[in-house]
């Protein structure tokens, strides 16, 4: 889990492209995560989202 303090540059962006049923979360230098927008979010997506946050923090530390 991400135990680091949040900084404004660590904020992830998420957006839905027109004509799709998914939301993609991005952060510079980290592989994007795409999840379904209209369904209940499965635990696997939450885990992957938390991993994405951790990788974003690791990239900031470099």
Q: Where are the beta strands (DSSP E) in 2-56?
A: 13-15, 22-27, 30-36
Residue 57 in any domain: the answer is yes
CATH of the domain at 34: 3.30.920
Decide if 20 is inside a domain: yes
Structural domain that includes position 14: 8-61
- The three-class DSSP label of residue 58 is helix
| Beta bridge partner(s), residue 22 | 36
pLDDT of 37 higher than 70:
yes
Percent of the chain with pLDDT over 90: 6
pTM over 0.85: no
- Residue at 1 is within a domain: no
Domain-located, residue 3: no
13 assigned to some structural domain: yes
User: What are phi and psi for residue 18, nearest 5 degrees?
Assistant: -55, 135
Query: What are 7-34's pLDDT values in tens digits?
Result: 544 556 677 777 888 888 888 888 999 8
What domain count does the chain have?
1
pLDDT of residue 8: 45
């Amino acid at each position: 889990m991400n135990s680091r303090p949040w900084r404004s540059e660590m904020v992830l962006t998420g957006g839905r492209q027109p004509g799709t049923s998914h939301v993609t979360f991005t952060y510079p230098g980290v592989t994007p995560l795409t999840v379904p927008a209209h369904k209940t979010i499965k635990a696997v997506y939450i885990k992957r989202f938390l991993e994405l946050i951790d990788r974003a923090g690791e990239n900031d530390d470099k």
